[in-house]
Amino acid sequence: EFTTIIVEKGTPGFKQVSMHGKMMWRASDTAELYFDDCRVPEENLLGKIGEGSHIMLHTLDGGRLSIAAMGLGCAQGAFEAALQYGNERKQFGKPIVKFQVNAFKLADMATKIELARNLLYKACWLKDAGKPYGKEAAMSKLYCSEIAKQVADEAVQIHGGYGLMKDYDVERFYRDQRLLQIGEGTSEIQRLVISRYIGC
């Protein structure tokens, strides 16, 4: 049985310690939270006693949409960077996007991004309409985060050696996408959630 409460910054016994050295999302403030004989007033209660699990699971569904949106944005950004680079970089007298291997990679990337966008938009529409959206949130989070990984990887490949250099945005997209398969529930957890929704 869980209960959710708000612990305000500055509460005696509550300490946050910044974490440094992350490979991704370096601009985000990540911290470890410590509670040592920390007491909070009763008015800091969120919901009712024992409703914590329900509140946390409901919050996770919304968070999954946020992670899905980040995945979609990462994939879109990596795709656009790869397309631009592919049009600018020339080999054998023509842009490398004119080579079928790269053109087909970009076509697959664009298709996956469009599918991810539609899946995410459906989940957001359900949420906005006040309808159940837990399954669609898990599907969106799973698909968008994994598409971000695939697209970022292909974008680095199209850039060749330059894709590994910090001078090019695809290097950051490649690093940043990794958290998306972990935060708000791993890809494995999303598959578990989806499998339960579909009756497995």
Place of tokens 């087909």: 104
| DSSP, res 47 | S
Q: Could you give the CA distance from residue 136 to residue 62 in angstroms, rounded to a whole number? A: 11
**Listed residue (49, 74, 65) closest to 155, CA to CA:** 74
Name the catalytic one among 8, 136, 184, 188.
184
Of the candidates 20, 17, 23, the one whose C-alpha atom is nearest the C-alpha of residue 171 is 23
Distance of CA 190 to the CA centre of its chain: 12
d(C-alpha 66, C-alpha 59), whole Å: 11
- Alpha-carbon distance of 103 to 169, in angstroms, equals 20
Strands (E), the chain: 4-5, 14-18, 31-35, 45-46, 90-91, 94-95
Confirm if 173 and 155 have CB atoms less than 8 A apart.
yes
Q: What is the DSSP letter of 96?
A: G
146 a catalytic residue: no
The catalytic residue positions are 184
